[in-house]
Copies of this chain bind each other. A is one copy, B any other.
Amino acid sequence: MKKISDFNGVCDTDCPVARANDIIGGKWTTLIIRDLLSGKKRYSELARSLAGISPRMLAARLDMLCGAGLVAKTVYPTVPPKTEYELTDAGKRIEPVIAAMAEFGSKLR
């Protein structure tokens, strides 16, 4: 088990915590990941679950996550169209982060 102090100190260029924050730091990213943790989801399912997100934002974050290799997108060229998003193996490594955040957040007054 890695000690937290292993990650302490100056980290201007490449701190693991900073890099993680660059990915999941956005307003919606963690919520999208949370939704995808329970399995493959369609665009409209995510839009419904993430009440309040604009289509533009949802598309942008999903695009970023795909680009980072954390989410995979499958497009079915049917009419009407259907796309599905799911976490890649790399993306599933975010689960402990979300779980820890949920645990912390639930204890917040």
User: Which chain A residues have a beta carbon within 8 Å of chain B's beta carbons?
Assistant: 2, 4-12, 15-21, 23-27, 30-31, 34-35, 37-38, 48-49, 51-52, 68-69, 90, 93-109
CA distance A84 to B32 in the complex (A): 37
Contact present for B21 and A102 (CB under 8 Å):
no
CA distance A97 to B96 in the complex (A): 8
CA distance A27 to B27 in the complex (A): 11
Contact present for A8 and B38 (CB under 8 Å):
yes
CA distance A12 to B103 in the complex (A): 18
- Across the interface, which residues of B come within 8 angstroms of A100, CB to CB? 96-97, 99-100
Which listed residue (B2, B11, B20, B31) contacts A18, Cβ 8 A?
B31
Contact present for A94 and B98 (CB under 8 Å):
no
A6-B102, A15-B31 known; 17 other A-B pairs, CB under 8 Å?
A2-B103, A4-B34, A7-B99, A8-B34, A8-B37, A9-B49, A10-B51, A11-B31, A11-B49, A12-B52, A16-B101, A16-B108, A17-B105, A20-B105, A20-B108, A21-B27, A96-B100
